[in-house]
Structure 1
Amino acid sequence: MDLTEEQRAFVSAVDTFCQRECGTRQQRDVLTNFGAESHNRALYRKMADAGWLGINVEPEFGGAGGGMVDLSLFLEATARGMAPIGGFATTVIAAAAYAKFGTAEQKETILGGVIRGSVEAIAMSEPEAGSDVANLSCKAARVDGGYVINGQKTWCSNAHIADHILLVARTGSVAETGNGHHGLTMFMVPTNTEGLEIRGIDTMGGREVNDLFYTDCFLPASAVVGEVGNGWRQLMAGLNTERIIMGGLMLGTAQRAFDDTLSYVTQRKQFGQPVGTFQALRHRLADLATEIECCRLLVYDVASKVDANPEKMLPREASMVKLKVTETAKRMALEGMQMMGGYGYAKEFDMEGHVRRTIVSTIYGGTNEIQRDIIGKTYGL
């Protein structure tokens, strides 16, 4: 796609920053505690100071006022540069909900915080409700002056480093509403709220996700984000943002996995010549390069459509972005590992990390099976 001079300069600045601050494996090991942590607060603060974290936040809150294309450029560049800012994705997803539905005070707190480098999280999944959102059971009971929360959330990304959690809880029973998607409400929950326990879940990706336990957790009425009982519709309104964000991130990761593979196969020699010159590898790389470019065109085409009509729901296109880019990134990383042989499996190189990150991308944010179902339904199937 054609970028403006300003956008090209922005991407160049982000590329230069990543190369300087986290361009070597040694730098990234220090920043991430040898891969155990996905987010480095000091590096994140530097990006905040540069004004980049507010790329799509409205100017009235100190942001740049950019659109989805600008945000996608930043996501792709930072993922390609392997910048350890894992908290950014959930932050912009949560911030989008506050921007659309939050009160003036909530917007000032959250959007202003994003500019300064705060991290935000969103809690929706439960032990018995992942893809089946209608089965959410975490309860928000109305009491004098607010609500009391009881229940559990799970797989909450970045809750352990977040300032607030955007909680989706049930304020109306299925018996009352007749539909599990009705009676859900969003709440802004500071992570230091009494009655909230955040417990990390060990994963192959290090410390990323958490169980959340709400025990008689009181929230004032002012904690409600948007309308009581309208949480499902508010969630649906954010799907464009969430799925394109994941597309931008995995596009950058796929490109980095390709670049790392290309670098290896042009240097590694077997039978007296670089392994990349053998047809078996050359053709695989040609196919993968083509697939990545198709993903790039898809991401920025859909991002441009969102910028042209921010209020329009694009369920088919947004799901296509999430499905296509994450599947391509996973394929690229697995193919890269295969082409690098044993070195692709060794922690000495970054490829094994690419594999871990891309595999889980097909699960979070709505599994790719769900994305296929959504796409099929848009065709009346």
Structure 2
Amino acid sequence: MPRVLSDERRDFVQAIAEFCRRECGTKQQRDELTGGGEHPHNQELYGKMAELGWLGAYIPEEYGGAGLGMTELCLFLEETAYGRAPIGGFATTIISAAAYAKFGSPEQKRTVLEGVVAGRLEAVSMSEPGAGSDVGALTCKAERRDGGWVINGQKTWCSNAHISDHILLTARTTPGGTKHEGLTQFMVPTGTPGLEIRGIDTMGGREVNDLYFTDCFLPEDAVVGTVDQGWKQLMAGLNLERMILAALMLGTARRAFDDTVGYVKEREQFGRPIGSFQALRHRIADMATELECARLLLDDVARQIDADPERTFPREASMAKLKCTELAKHVSLEGMQMLGGYGYATEYGMEALLRETVVSTVYGGTSEIQRDIIGKTYGL
């Protein structure tokens, strides 16, 4: 079904779509931009988007942004994902920027938010080898010393740390109490002595990192927000993180679906296009229906957030993340099956979509965690 958008939003989406077709519309272009898929982020392309003002769409006007809402942010994410734009650093940048906008000092806000508009990147670090879904179990510690803080410990799965200006770090500042107490967030420049960033090899290319802190000194003004209130600050940003990931995967699912439909219309076996066989035609129909349901859900949650930005939507945002990521994985797997051997070939690109979507049900809170959150909102 056609999406009902205002003239401004329709023009916004069309401009992004045209940009992606022109700049990264072919596999050859994308391979050149990403080193054959090894680097999910291309800074030159990202800089062009900054010049167009798109990266600052969600940033307040006082910092050079457009001050737009969740709806516009989701449209941008969905369309760039559909267009296969290699801007993998944008999601963590916006997640970090929102935290600074809510809790940062005036100087932190200026540095980060104006940097986002200009095309610079940010990273956020929570997970540890022993603290993934159970983020509250983290042990990386920050101790007061010499008028500042000294960080020791290891973090892992930190997306884009190697290409970012700063890392928004969550560390334990006060031991004892419950596991959700005594956590604090810090702004850590990536060149700080005592911080080592070491890449982790994945099937998605060079994207995530281990972080090693060894007597890493930070000044007092590196604290973001309030000491020992890091858990509450983390919870305040979950709407945004889940909506970002949902929008990205909705766009990726749409791309996998359209590529699959295009293939089954052209590929002939037994004297007819394979899409004309009922077994495939019905699967296509089911996926199209599920995509429309996911889009309607995401659009509705975005509108609710725009109408009441200070309210948290744990149930709705988790539903959007769960639905869009699981659907993206399903659609890419179906695409792989329908393309047959060609789905496995890098020439056709479905295998890349599969690699991207499989991990989406893990990062940003696994599907199991999303279901648990949704269940708890019903008093279970």
Shorter chain as normaliser: what TM range? Answer: over 0.9
Question: Following the alignment from structure 1 to structure 2, what is the Cα–Cα distance between the partners of residues 163 and 262?
Answer: 41
The corresponding residue for 1:246 is: 245
Question: Following the alignment from structure 1 to structure 2, what is the Cα–Cα distance between the partners of residues 242 and 303?
Answer: 12
Q: Alpha-carbon deviation of 1:4?
A: 1.1
Cα displacement string for residues 239-278 of structure 1 (whole angstroms, at most 9, x for unaligned residues):
1000000010000000000010011111111111111111
Structure 2 alignment gaps of length 5 or more:
none
Cα displacement string for residues 4-54 of structure 1 (whole angstroms, at most 9, x for unaligned residues):
101100000000000000000000000000000100000000000000000
Q: Alpha-carbon deviation of 1:351?
A: 0.3
1:5 matched to 2:7? The reply is yes
The corresponding residue for 1:124 is: 126
SS at match of 1:151: strand
Q: Alpha-carbon deviation of 1:349?
A: 1.1
SS at match of 2:206: strand
The corresponding residue for 2:109 is: 107
Question: Following the alignment from structure 2 to structure 1, what is the Cα–Cα distance between the partners of residues 59 and 78?
Answer: 18
Question: Following the alignment from structure 1 to structure 2, what is the Cα–Cα distance between the partners of residues 85 and 135?
Answer: 31
Amino acid at match of 1:314: F
Amino acid at match of 2:218: L
Amino acid at match of 1:227: T
The corresponding residue for 1:49 is: 51
Residue from 132, 136, 139 that aligns with 2:138: 136
Question: Following the alignment from structure 2 to structure 1, what is the Cα–Cα distance between the partners of residues 155 and 291?
Answer: 35
Q: Alpha-carbon deviation of 1:2?
A: 2.9
Residue from 89, 92, 95 that aligns with 2:91: 89
Question: Following the alignment from structure 1 to structure 2, what is the Cα–Cα distance between the partners of residues 138 and 56?
Answer: 31
Q: Alpha-carbon deviation of 1:157?
A: 0.5
Cα displacement string for residues 142-200 of structure 1 (whole angstroms, at most 9, x for unaligned residues):
11321000000000001111110000000010x2xx21101000000010011100000
SS at match of 1:202: coil
Question: Following the alignment from structure 1 to structure 2, what is the Cα–Cα distance between the partners of residues 36 and 195?
Answer: 27
The corresponding residue for 2:181 is: 182
Instruction: Please provide the CA RMSD for this pair.
Output: 0.6
Question: Following the alignment from structure 2 to structure 1, what is the Cα–Cα distance between the partners of residues 243 and 21?
Answer: 25
The corresponding residue for 1:197 is: 196
The corresponding residue for 1:22 is: 24
Question: Following the alignment from structure 1 to structure 2, what is the Cα–Cα distance between the partners of residues 134 and 213?
Answer: 19
Question: Following the alignment from structure 1 to structure 2, what is the Cα–Cα distance between the partners of residues 217 and 144?
Answer: 12
Amino acid at match of 1:163: D
Question: Following the alignment from structure 1 to structure 2, what is the Cα–Cα distance between the partners of residues 366 and 129?
Answer: 12
Question: Following the alignment from structure 2 to structure 1, what is the Cα–Cα distance between the partners of residues 278 and 210?
Answer: 48
Question: Following the alignment from structure 1 to structure 2, what is the Cα–Cα distance between the partners of residues 251 and 75?
Answer: 9
Question: Following the alignment from structure 1 to structure 2, what is the Cα–Cα distance between the partners of residues 310 and 2?
Answer: 22
The corresponding residue for 1:283 is: 282
SS at match of 2:217: strand
Amino acid at match of 1:323: L
The corresponding residue for 1:79 is: 81
Question: Following the alignment from structure 1 to structure 2, what is the Cα–Cα distance between the partners of residues 321 and 229?
Answer: 30
SS at match of 1:206: coil
The alignment covers a number of residue pairs equal to 378
Question: Following the alignment from structure 2 to structure 1, what is the Cα–Cα distance between the partners of residues 26 and 173?
Answer: 49
Percent identical residues: 69
Structure 1 alignment gaps of length 5 or more:
none
Question: Following the alignment from structure 2 to structure 1, what is the Cα–Cα distance between the partners of residues 174 and 289?
Answer: 49
Question: Following the alignment from structure 1 to structure 2, what is the Cα–Cα distance between the partners of residues 65 and 145?
Answer: 37
Amino acid at match of 2:53: G
Amino acid at match of 1:267: E
SS at match of 2:201: strand
SS at match of 1:140: strand
Question: Following the alignment from structure 1 to structure 2, what is the Cα–Cα distance between the partners of residues 193 and 307?
Answer: 37
Question: Following the alignment from structure 2 to structure 1, what is the Cα–Cα distance between the partners of residues 148 and 320?
Answer: 39
SS at match of 1:65: coil
Alignment of 1:264-279 (within 5 A): 264-279=263-278
Amino acid at match of 1:197: E
SS at match of 2:84: coil
Task: Give the structure-1-normalised TM-score.
Answer: 0.99
The corresponding residue for 2:303 is: 304
Question: Following the alignment from structure 2 to structure 1, what is the Cα–Cα distance between the partners of residues 313 and 46?
Answer: 31
Question: Following the alignment from structure 1 to structure 2, what is the Cα–Cα distance between the partners of residues 125 and 134?
Answer: 9
Question: Following the alignment from structure 2 to structure 1, what is the Cα–Cα distance between the partners of residues 26 and 155?
Answer: 36
The corresponding residue for 2:164 is: 162
Question: Following the alignment from structure 1 to structure 2, what is the Cα–Cα distance between the partners of residues 303 and 236?
Answer: 18
The corresponding residue for 1:340 is: 339
SS at match of 1:365: coil
The corresponding residue for 1:318 is: 317
